[in-house]
Structure 1
Amino acid sequence: MSNQPSVLEISAQEVYKNFLDYKDQDFIDVRSSEAHNDWNIFGSVNIPFKMFQSGEFKDLLPKSDKPLTIVCNRGNDSKVIAKFLNDNKIKATSLSKGMQAWNNILHPLEIQPKYSKFKIIQYHRIAKGCLSYLVVNNDEAVVIDPVYKIDPYLKYIENNGYELKYIFETHLHADHISGSRLLQEKTGANLLLSNKDPYTFDYTPIDHEKSISLGGESIIFPIHTPGHTKGSTTIKIGKNALLTGDTVFLDSLGRPDLADRAHEFANDLYDSLNNKIANLSNEMCIMPAHHGKVELKDFNKSFETPLSQIKKFDYFKLSKQDFVQKVVAQTNKTEKPVIYQRIIRINSGSEHILDSQIPDLEMGSNKCAISQK
């Protein structure tokens, strides 16, 4: 196989558009089985690179006439395999820049909570499972938990003539690089963070005792919900929208061990769930900062659920002692995010990196939830 092949490439944006247009497409992922199981493109077939070298691949190829795209981490191995297949009369393209490029795709979906006139856009980072939000009320906007590729937020705001007033982080992120500081630099919006998380740069501390006005109305209500981190903040928008960050997910809870103080933080998490979140209306629309793996059939579904569903978790039925014991035990069975300590240092401002280093740091799925296995 040639090491520097010349083959037709397809961009991650084109692949995304094909999904939007419901166009049939097949994918062969030539990474290791471990990497593929961790994160992949919808419906991709895993045939590791070495199997092409040994000739074991033939019976594993998709048996269809759909356009075929080869996927790897950075778009190098995929070019080698795409050329090999084309040389053997099997038409294939290579995903340009591989999973690193696919990791930058954000899929926006509008959510309209009950009894609310403000607008919420949920940005689904398809590859990694990150969820960020843009809330608009009377032409003023706030962005919550932005990822580092901030262009989609800026374009939406500019195209609609909105003014970005605030940027929030629900917590100090450990699994991906935040875009909050860059967005603040580009727009001058007010950056609000919890001073209970160890940020080292300038920001406005969140006051958990006060509401915040957006579009002339007090509709933003920060609630201190420690447990995932000391500064974890749940953001209530209007009467019925609750952005829970990594405190509560749709099928699990945020892990309490990423500061290496699992028992202490699990106690905090119990109090946050039972003394704050559980006291809110059952109709509250829960929207987290991450989700688990999804299938293609769920591609265009927003990630939200009523609080009444969350309250059915077994966790809400436990005493504090049993809760802490169960949460710590399940957390210990859950693989931690890759190089999470370094990502925490970067997001806190205590370590500086080049933009070119970010794609490698963000490889892999998010692992901020407690395992349910």
Structure 2
Amino acid sequence: MAETVTPLELFHEIADGSVPEFLDVRNLDEFEASRIEGSRPVPTRNVPVYRVFEDLEEECARTLEGAVVICGQGNGSELVAEEFGDLGRTVRSLEGGTDAWNRLLVPVEITGLPAPVQVWQFQRPAKACLSYVVGVPGERCIIVDPTRQPQPYLDLAAEHGMTVSHVVDTHVHADHISGGPFLAAELGVEYHLPPEDCGGVVPFPNRPLADGDVLDLGSAQVRVMSMHLPGHTPGTIALLVSDAVLLVGDTVFVRGLGRPDLTGQAEELARDLFRSVHERLRPLDPQTIIAPAHWSSSDEINSEGLVVTTLEDVFTATLLNQKAMEKFVEEIVTSLPAAPQTYDTIRLVNAGRIAPPEDEIDILDVGRNQCAASTSLSR
């Protein structure tokens, strides 16, 4: 029987630097579509399983002791691990394969906030996506930008005695399928999505958040205030938590800006992005923690395991010191890579315009996000 490692165990081992190597035995197209990545780089080889068995002894010899073998569902990798074990090489198989890794959500608390509010950043390493639970233990909480795997949010809320009162999507996402509408309906709570991102009409129950709206978490001194920040999309909102943390969606990242071209309005939205950053964000406290909806590379994960920055750091970036709007727009628009072909379809799903079969949804919901403009925030 081969040794195995769970996705959560693998997540922590990557962070510890204790994974010597990945041997990914999927076909090349599957490997390139969704690689296993974490907070530290891990040497990776892709050898399709049929080739492993063609040269079993040679591939075994090339594989490092303690390596993790990866396939789609965990069956092929377990078979490889067993055969390598018979040849004297101890490796482990990833339980559930990349299917299980794609569903993994790991909560990391953002500490040092004014009591009694608490904020947890849920990291989805398969897509480098971030979602959040914001709440007061023993009272209420909200879930922001949720994935299709709701149980980790509900488990955390239950652990801290919190009742979910609102579900929020900061914008219509283009890179992954949102779990927001379904989760809100299941819980019987209000859902909030900017209607501007849906062509003005949201076809499922929704209460748009107006600029300055407040979501009460149950304690008078704790507020979550909405802020309209168009740029990545026409309707993007951010949530300012107790004047300490800004859940900013895809407006800015630790090292980048949200790409403005995914709705076909690149130049117009680039101007909106410039105004949002300079007119809405700059007046806030420079020590405001910026909590984005994505990360692009492992070096954006700090020593506490969080993907966050401060507003002060955002405004030391070369690009955001650019005061001339037209120069800013030119730099952003001319640097944009082509968006993945699936992004238009994903946006239509999240806007409630189409409803593909579940197996097609599963396919759309894999692969790393590409929501950042390629012009990074140079330090």
> What's the TM-score bracket when you normalise by the shorter of the two chains?
0.7 to 0.9
TM-score, length-scaled by structure 2: 0.86
Equivalent runs, 1:277-316 vs 2, <5 Å: 277-294=281-298, 300-316=304-320
Q: Does 1:322 align with 2:324?
A: no
The alpha carbon displacement at 1:248 in A equals 0.6
Structure 1 211/271 Cα, relative in aligned 2: closer, same or farther at 3 Å? same
Structure 1 110/274 Cα, relative in aligned 2: closer, same or farther at 3 Å? same
Q: Which runs of 5+ in 1 are unaligned?
A: 1-5
TM-score, length-scaled by structure 1: 0.87
Quick one: percent identity of the two aligned structures? 28
The alpha carbon displacement at 1:127 in A equals 2.1
Q: Which runs of 5+ in 2 are unaligned?
A: none
The alpha carbon displacement at 1:95 in A equals 2.0
| Residues 124-143 of structure 1: CA deviation (Å, up to 9, x unaligned) | 11221111111113611011
Q: Does 1:220 align with 2:224?
A: yes
Match of 1:28 among 15, 23, 26: 23
Structure 1 77/363 Cα, relative in aligned 2: closer, same or farther at 3 Å? farther
Match of 2:352 among 349, 366, 372: 349
| CA distance in structure 1 between the partners assigned to 2:16 and 2:36 by the alignment | 20
Cα contact 2:286–2:311 (8 A) shared by 1: yes
Cα contact 1:175–1:338 (8 A) shared by 2: no
Q: What residue is the counterpart of 1:40 in the other structure?
A: 36
| Number of aligned positions between the proteins | 363
| CA distance in structure 2 between the partners assigned to 1:127 and 1:248 by the alignment | 21
Q: What residue is the counterpart of 2:183 in the other structure?
A: 183
Match of 2:237 among 210, 224, 233: 233
Q: What residue is the counterpart of 1:211 in the other structure?
A: 214
Structure 1 297/244 Cα, relative in aligned 2: closer, same or farther at 3 Å? closer
Q: Does 1:336 align with 2:339?
A: yes
Cα contact 1:220–1:236 (8 A) shared by 2: yes
Cα contact 2:302–2:308 (8 A) shared by 1: no
| Residues 16-39 of structure 1: CA deviation (Å, up to 9, x unaligned) | 465688865643123439935963
Cα contact 2:60–2:84 (8 A) shared by 1: no
| CA distance in structure 1 between the partners assigned to 2:177 and 2:303 by the alignment | 24
Q: What amino acid sits opposite 2:10 in the alignment?
A: V
| Residues 179-231 of structure 1: CA deviation (Å, up to 9, x unaligned) | 11221122112111112110322211111133232214361111111111111
Structure 1 313/33 Cα, relative in aligned 2: closer, same or farther at 3 Å? farther
Structure 1 30/41 Cα, relative in aligned 2: closer, same or farther at 3 Å? farther
Q: What residue is the counterpart of 2:98 in the other structure?
A: 99
| CA distance in structure 2 between the partners assigned to 1:38 and 1:356 by the alignment | 17
Q: Does 1:361 align with 2:356?
A: no
Q: Does 1:248 align with 2:278?
A: no
| CA distance in structure 2 between the partners assigned to 1:166 and 1:361 by the alignment | 26
Structure 1 308/344 Cα, relative in aligned 2: closer, same or farther at 3 Å? same
- Helix, strand or coil at the partner of 1:268: helix
Cα contact 2:20–2:43 (8 A) shared by 1: no
Q: What amino acid sits opposite 2:204 in the alignment?
A: F
RMSD: 2.8
| CA distance in structure 2 between the partners assigned to 1:297 and 1:214 by the alignment | 28
